Amino acid sequence: MLNDLIDSLTAFKHEAEEAVLQAGSEQELEGIRVAFLGKKGKVSDVLKKVGSLTNEERPRLGQSANETKRFLEEIFSKRGAHLALTLKEKKLQSERVDLTLPGRRIPTGSLHPVTTVCEEITKAFIPLGFTVEEGPDIETDFYNFEALNIPKDHPAREMQDTFYLSENFLLRTHTSPVQIRTMEKYSPPLRVLAPGTVYRCDSDVTHTPMFHQVEGFVVDKKVTFAQLKGVLTTFVETIFGAGVQLRFRPSFFPFTEPSAEVDIQCVICGGEGCRVCKSTGWLEILGAGMIDPEVFKAVGYDPDVYSGFAFGMGVERIAMLKYGIKDLRMFFENDVRFLEQF
């Protein structure tokens, strides 16, 4: 009886060893371990028969059973470690990064259409001898209004049109203050372009509280309105193409005299009349005029010696006409679908 039980334990070693080698996963290995070492496993079945042995035989069976358990636990442990290592290697292999493959491309951005048009406007004037000057967004009443011949009772000074920070400080309503600061800093002759952001209390399909403007001016001896027309004609042909017609309409600005509104032939209908140009065939693009003598006096220039002209335009307005955009607010909504078109 004892020998048969010991032979069974020996057979379990060989049987388990072969089964362990065939185990392809940790789950299979655990099933084999339970079959041999579990509470209802084969080794336990042998030990249940210890009651049929004599007192002298029981220790021998116990010793053989313990040796079998140690042997089985060892092969299960080794196979388990091997399977775990194999699984880890497979996982690493599946997650391995092939450094020879091209990397994932980051979506390439582009310039905002307002930035693009502002740069195009600047480049159009550089060949004409203009230089670029900048000024602060927060201005004093003197530079934004008083020095530009805008009287105290002018509507532009009202709260509904201007963002006041205090009684004397405000967000500039145009880039014209750069004209005053530049003339204070330099002596004529001057050909200056002043792009920048401006602020007004207004918001609808053609107005926003913050927008971009380009101011330009020329100061020298014997500057004429004809020269102003020549400069603006060159600019319009550079931006909108050769052959685009211009017209100058009499207007009023406090800082220029005489003053004019400058229109171009509608770029949408070619001057035939459409909804964009309100059937007039013309589109307003900027304001211009000869610099008022009072402006020269504010900066210490002698108006009997020097003359000059100035012009100003909204960059968004030019962009809307150039690209056929109907709602100014689209420039500021950060809609990638819109921005990707430029």
pLDDT reading at 78 higher than 90: no
- Model pLDDT for residues 223-254, shown as the tens digit of each residue: 999 999 999 999 999 998 888 889 999 999 99
CA of 87: how far to CAs of 33, 34, 38, 242, in Å?
A: 19, 22, 25, 72
pLDDT tens digit sequence for 316-341: 989 988 888 878 888 888 888 888 88
Confidence (pLDDT) at 203: 65
Q: How far is CA 173 from CA 143, 157, 205, 304, 314, in A?
A: 11, 10, 19, 29, 12
- CA gap 329, 140 in Å, rounded: 28
The CA distance from 207 to 327, in Å, is 9
* Residue 160 pLDDT exceeds 60: no
Count other C-beta atoms under 10 Å from residue 160's C-beta.
Answer: 8
DSSP assigned state of 329: G
Residues 6+ apart with CB under 8 A from 85: none
**Of 211, 311, 308, the residue nearest 260 (C-alpha):** 311
Alpha-carbon distance of 65 to 255, in angstroms, equals 111
Phi then psi dihedrals of residue 341, to 5 deg = -80, -5
Confidence grade of residue 57 (pLDDT, cut at 50, 70, 90): confident
Integer distance in angstroms from the first to the last C-alpha of the chain? 94
The pLDDT of residue 281 is: 86
For the ranges 94-98, 246-250, 280-284, the lowest mean pLDDT is seen at: 94-98
Q: Which residue has the higher pLDDT, 283 or 248?
A: 248
Q: Which amino acid is at 123?
A: K
* Per-residue pLDDT at 41 exceeds 90: no
Dihedral pair phi/psi, residue 257, rounded to 5°: -160, 115
Whether 102 shows a pLDDT value over 80: the answer reads yes
Instruction: For residues 13-19, give the mean pLDDT.
Output: 75
199's tokens: 């602020």
> Over 70: is that where the pLDDT of 50 sits?
no
Q: What is the pTM of this model?
A: 0.67
Identify the residue with better confidence: 181 or 163.
181
Q: Which residue has the higher pLDDT, 302 or 39?
A: 302
Residue-level pLDDT at 157: 67
Among candidate residues 49, 74, 71, the one with its CA nearest the CA of residue 62: 49
**pLDDT tens column, 113-135:** 999 999 999 999 999 999 999 99
pLDDT at 126: 96
pLDDT of residue 212: 93
